[in-house]
Structure 1
């Protein structure tokens, strides 16, 4: 019966190789006869177990022919090729051979296959040639004997507790590293030493090291031997340590320069990083010519428990071997401060877990939490701020943080050189304080107008409310007011009274149509009644009381010219006891002597500018600017004239305090509370640019917080749910064929001219040109007749006419808004040619109120043509329930003002709004631009505009796309 055996054969290059054979055992003579070499070509190969197949393949790969093919380009003579090869190539081949011998021996060990020495001369192998494969690993034992004149060193083999000296033993190396060696027909396997260290001691009993080389020898070779192997020592001492280490978290920089943690285990004589694989360390000492070695063994169980505890505290062990906060954004600055804060917050937990921590950085961070000690002393117009910051025992003045806070830098250098980390919430809380406060070092003061900047973010918003801040408490509507104020109007009325008590200017920014006018009239009437009561009071002021004011100074109400009549009518209707002087027209009083005796002087922005020498001589109780967005330009003569006026209080009324830019907000707030937002250049660099250009959310939130107490904004949806439903629909119109061709020709012409001139022309000139080009494209999209092409049709015009006829046939009224008077004239011509009654209001209309009343009261008039620039504010047109915006304006706030002429308090019908857009034209792109332009206004409180040079690129895209 055939049996698989493996034979050791000598090889001229590699010492020994292994070959499998099928052999037949003869019991009588106790020998095996080799029948044939076991190869993959034999039938029984496929029936063999997988491991045996691997063994057979590995042995085949050890053939000279295969090695020559693999490494020496099919040369027929392996010995010749080997001799010509360099050392690197030879090492590759040896490694190749060793791996296959190792695989064969491992399979033999597992399958318990017999191994024999085979003499090349004979076909038989005998039991005397059998090699015993020892099942367990052997250890090499290093013996060192330090004597007076020399140190002797030899190796022995230890197996199953027994030591075997190698000297003069018959030994054969089958595998170099790790070592597999045959000694006295037994195969020993060593896991951690190669054969080169064992072989010398087969030929010699020991190696002698002379005294002169002794210490160097002990510091190197002996030390490494003690670290990696079993050592028996004579003449010197080996001490061992198997105790627990001290785990330490190190704060250091990772490879990207970010702050991260590293875990280190400190043993008495060695520190290991947590990821290091070596488990043993040895330290050498020479104590008065006495040699000592301390061998330290790592406590892996203890280290594993420490790692688990650190994970429980929220740290993550990353692939790059550094340790970071779980889930933390690894932005460099955030990661650095996050690591410091984690260390501060978990310091006690680390100490409780006996885990130390150290900082391995180029600077030292204080782990104490900064604390504020605040003291505010209120003056009439200022808060004196006496604030100190304490970090442990270190004390620094609060103003010294200014450069850090404004630069969003949380690392502050303390007097002792350590670095303190400011709480993140301080950046938001005190940014506004430092931007708006005056003074330096420990002397700093803040205007009472900015009092809410001292409020911490977690505190409830200190929005000025009538109930909280008014010393008068909640005030009912004044007697003599011929109207019932809605609840939200009562809140607005009391809010204004509260701020007037505090001598603060403010802006009532309610949505269009919510009754800002009547709320202000109620305030003026309240002041009049209060003064009348003081006059009639029998109570005499005390010696130290401030004398009550017995005179009623006039109130100046400044409005767009088109609203003078509206205000006059509203005051006459709701508060007839308020006497009104209208300063208007060419025959107006040039002295204002009689006007100053009235309760209210009503005039226009243009007349304040023209007659400023008259107005600046009067001190007013209140100056009220209606549609205050008219004074958004601080460089205008109107604005400069208004700033010369004096009054106890300044009030702003507008539905759109921000139309184009935050510059609009500064101009109006500066009028209401001069200096509240500092100079325009300061406001521009610290708020406008950071918010509009850099999209800085922190500055945005800060500005909202600053202005919140002085702007009251309510929308229709919030406070007037009883208003009828507002439906908005976009109607897309197709151009006629000739119209579309004309539009494309004009668009190509514009593009070519821009490409030719944009590099040479200034941005201002280019802005003007682009605006003209856009206007021309808009006009063609509406109707080519607007550009002089009278014979061309218009798809939009036909769609609008059809819609207007449907509205009229169903007995509804419609407001028709356009930014082009010429566009309105096209519809006027249609109405006149078809004998249809209509009303029309443009900038040239002088009898505005008469026109409005005619439309409101005449049921036969269905159409009201209105220029969006002239009729977007101040009109009450609740008779209409349809609104047509026949061409889009740049800013939808202006369009919403137009819609609010119909959708306002007093409207009883549902309101339907239709935006007519010509498809495939500049009008579609304008609608996309509208969303961007209103984002800023919606953010702060809730726009008609020309193209500014700064906006040129955005508008160029509209033309060039």
Structure 2
């Protein structure tokens, strides 16, 4: 049945019709009209009622056409007329309308407050007579008994006719023509009350259901009392529990050791002290913070964050079979500290051991410094616990020698180990092994190499690893070490996939800059180290985007046991200071004209474009070239170096430096700019030795060695990418950064080629910046990236969108005097 759409009435008219309907009115109509009318009533065919003292008008709609029946009260009896010629249909609509009128009378008059001033003695008497009829005291020997219980769907109401001998017949399954007048009135009253409370009819099962929790609580706390006055009502005990709201259940994790490295894990949900079944737990998890009805317990609710935690664990641990989940995954669970975890004795001891300070009982080379000795012990301790660490020491603290010391001290090595690093750093590893651990057999991965299983140390570039990816599945390594691990920051690259494919007993990542551009850099590194620890990529990125600082705090806490980060300031008290100075280099007139012309062209071409990163960064590159030296632009290749404000400032600054006998390192990302510097140096300082290291330099060690061994003033020219990693230039005490790089980590790597272990002098660092240009705004991005790095790793989203930092393209590139 459906509630009618429109009802027009006043109380005096309803009171009159109440008097008229106290007596049975069904005999006024034939059997066919009664059956059809009851059907229309159940189907909600009545669209409107107009109740006046003289008549009742019943509106309906069929096939788009409106029609009606009018019921008049004439000489103490009902008289029907209608707008259709078919008399039987008119009478059927009248029957449906009278049933709706009885409902309306029950709703409006039966439930009037007792103190209502409008309730007269006459109305009281009529209501009593109506209720007597509805309660079966006339013409019925059966009582209406209602049973209320909690089911998985909600609150279920079953209505039964109870005879004198205790026999019970479902009310909703009994044919209407077998009911007495009193029974029919009881059924109508029940239907009215159920509808008023929000119940819906499940005709197939013959019960009423109420699914909305707030409506259920309202029914139990207030309406049920009135129902018990009108019917015989039996409620199961769990019904009354609904008054107090849903009971909040507790999520508990249980973990048991499985072998030496794995564990078995299961979730449990507790309601009070009772452990719910797996089926009920699944229902609560699907509920996601919404009350779920449980027979015998009422309504239960599992907090949405607990359901999210279980789902996070399900996806994170999906790659392992039952009982084979690595123990480090327990730290994935500890992200939510308030959830109780029940660890068996073995796992509890393991966890405490992981978090304990390592014992430095390992015998190591005497040349190691104390902090390096501690670093090797820490690595050994973590690896011995089945965890795979990230050594994030600041550049220049000797991460290479710490790892080599660890591998050399491992007497249980029987399989090969592999170091994967940038191609420019391969010679460094080979030199360090030859220098400190000549007993370790080293091999370099080249085209056509065969991994024969010999217990040696392979040194491999990231590019070569990608090319030999097909061979990796057949090789088991003792150690797999990623140096400059930020090279795999993009998890979608073939290089990253090749690294993930390495099979190794121990995995180590080395980098002084684990975050270069965004948080995903760190996720990728830990995917190599301990897959699953930081969850799935989608979950990780969603938390970064939506949870912000809260997630960063949790992330920092989660990775802390597996990251060792020391700074030079903290462990090398004897290391001289470094002083950073911004050296303003005003544009020459020619530079300014060239720069402003590029700005105008860029704005014109990029205006109106939705997304075209390639075009944008092409224009940004040209602007940076113009800020350095107009000769870097195709239209000004032949201009004198005196047209570059930076070259003029550099040469002026170098004169006193060379006079003092100091050595200088000059970095730029533009090889062409370094060539211009070299020509200017040849002209201004022809007696100063010059050494250069760029991307196509075949023998990287030669210029480094010659520069370090030089006994007089010298200049080393290096590209940021080629000369910024894997070399030591600590014999210099001046560094010039000719052009700012988007990423501060790249610049820091370059500076740390000079300011590192072995440096004896204070290091002066000059950053050459063209005022009023794009270069000043690059510093803004760099400051944000420093903050990101420090937040996660320094004390232990995406930053690439320009619009996140600048109001417009003009705000980024315009020249400002």
Same fold per superposition (TM over 0.5)? yes
Q: 1:430, 1:454 within 8 Å by CA — same for their partners in 2?
A: no
Give the 5 Å matches for 1:169-318.
Answer: none
Contact 1:428 1:702 survives alignment (8 Å):
no
Residue 806 (structure 1) shift: 2.2
CA distance in 2 between partners of 1:931 and 1:451 (Å): 35
Cα deviation 1:548-581 (Å, max 9, x = unaligned): xxx7212111222221221112112222222222
2:661 is aligned to 811
Q: Residue 428 of structure 2: which of 561, 566, 574 is its match?
A: 566
SS at match of 1:581: strand
Q: 2:255 aligns with which of 369, 373, 376?
A: 376
* Residues 437-452 of structure 1 mapped to structure 2, 5 A cutoff: 437=317, 447-452=326-331
Give the alignment partner of residue 931 of structure 1, picking from 783, 794, 797.
783
Structure 1 residue corresponding to 2:541, chosen from 680, 688, 711: 688
Name 1:474's counterpart in structure 2: 359
Report the 3-state secondary structure (helix = DSSP H, G, I; strand = E; otherwise coil) of the residue aligned with 1:492: helix
Which secondary structure state, in structure 1, belongs to the residue aligned with residue 477 of structure 2?
Answer: strand
Counterpart among 813, 825, 828 of residue 678 in structure 2? 828
1:352-378 alpha-carbon deviations (Å, 9 max, x no partner):
xxxxxxxxxx98555977556654212
Deviation of 1:695 (Å): 4.9
Note the alpha carbon deviations across 1:495-521, whole angstroms, 9 max, x for none.
Answer: 221232233333212111111111101
| Aligned counterpart, 2:375 | 492
2:514 aligns to what? 657
Q: Measure the CA separation in 1 of the matches of 2:283 and 2:753.
A: 50
Q: CA deviation at 1:472?
A: 12
From the superposition, tell whether residues 471 and 710 of structure 1 become closer, same or farther in structure 2 (CA, over 3 Å).
closer
1:743 deviates by 1.3
Aligned-pair CA distance for 1:936: 3.2
* 1:766-805 correspondence runs (5 A): 766-787=612-633, 788-789=635-636, 790-791=638-639, 793-805=643-655
Is the partner of 1:941 in helix, strand or coil?
helix
Asked whether the 8 Å contact 2:285–2:302 carries over to 1, the reply is no
Asked if structure 1 preserves the Cα contact closer than 8 Å seen for 2:583 and 2:766, the reply is yes
Aligned equivalent of 1:56? none
In structure 2, distance between residues paired with 1:399 and 1:526:
52
Larger radius of gyration between Structure 1 and Structure 2 = 1
User: Which one of 511, 515, 523 corresponds to residue 398 of structure 2?
Assistant: 515
How far apart are 1:413 and its partner, in Å? 4.3
Pair 564,500 (structure 1): closer, same or farther in 2 beyond 3 Å: same
How many matched pairs?
A: 559
C-alpha deviations, 1:740-785, integer Å up to 9, x for none?
A: 22211221111111115x15xxx3xx21111110010011111111
Whole-Å Cα distance in 2 between the matches of residues 372 and 452 of structure 1? 17
- Normalised by the length of structure 1, the TM-score is 0.52
Q: Could you state the TM-score of these two structures normalised by the residue count of structure 2?
A: 0.61
State the distance in 1 between where 2:649 and 2:462 align.
Answer: 40
Q: Does 1:697 align with 2:549?
A: yes
Cα distance per residue 1:183-206 (max 9 Å; x no partner): xxxxxxxxxxxxxxxxxxxxxxxx
Offset at residue 523 of structure 1 (A):
0.8
Please state if 1:728 is matched with 2:613.
no
Work out whether 1:642 is the aligned partner of 2:494. no
Aligned to 1:608: 465
Structure 2 residue 389 is matched with structure 1 residue 506: yes
Greater Cα shift, 872-881 or 426-435? 426-435
Q: Deviations over 1:16-56 (max 9, x none)?
A: xxxxxxxxxxxxxxxxxxxxxxxxxxxxxxxxxxxxxxxxx
- Secondary structure class of the residue paired with 2:328: helix
Judge conservation of contact 1:815–1:866 (CA < 8 Å) in 2: yes
- Report if the CA contact (8 A) 1:374-1:386 is conserved: yes
Unaligned runs of 5+ in 1: 1-217, 222-361, 532-550
Q: CA RMSD in A?
A: 4.1
Q: Name the CA distance, whole Å, in 1 between partners of 2:253 and 2:799.
A: 49
In the TM superposition, what are the counterparts of 1:385-464 in structure 2 within 5 Å?
385-392=265-272, 396=276, 413=292, 415=294, 416-418=297-299, 433=313, 436-437=316-317, 447-455=326-334, 457=337
For 1:661 and 1:513, the matched residues in 2 are separated by 24
Q: Which residue of 1 aligns with 2:705?
A: 853
Counterpart CA distance in 2 for 1:898 and 1:825 is: 19
Question: Cα–Cα, structure 1 residues 497 and 814, in superposed 2: closer, same or farther, change >3 Å?
Answer: same
Residue of 522, 528, 547 corresponding to 1:671: 528
Give 1:856 deviation, angstroms. Answer: 0.8
1:582 aligns with 2:466: no
Q: Alpha-carbon deviation of 1:899?
A: 0.8
Residues 635 and 579 of structure 1: is their aligned pair in 2 closer, same or farther, counting only changes over 3 Å? same
Name the structure with the higher strand share: 1
Structure 1 match to 2:570: 718
2:602 and 2:791 mapped to 1: Cα distance? Answer: 35
Structure holding more helix per residue = 2
C-alpha contact (below 8 Å) 1:892/1:930 kept by paired residues? yes
Are the structure 2 counterparts of residues 446 and 620 from structure 1 closer, same or farther at C-alpha, using a change threshold of 3 Å? closer
Instruction: Supply the distance in 1 between the matched residues of 2:348 and 2:567 (Cα, whole angstroms).
Output: 17
Task: Decide whether aligned partners of structure 1 residues 939 and 619 sit closer, same or farther in structure 2, where only a CA change above 3 A counts.
Answer: same
Structure 2 residue aligned with 1:17: none
Unaligned runs of 5+ in 2: 1-114, 119-240, 342-346
> Does the 8 Å contact 2:292/2:301 carry over to 1?
yes
SS in structure 2 at match of 1:597: coil
CA distance in 1: counterparts of 2:715 and 2:340, whole angstroms: 50
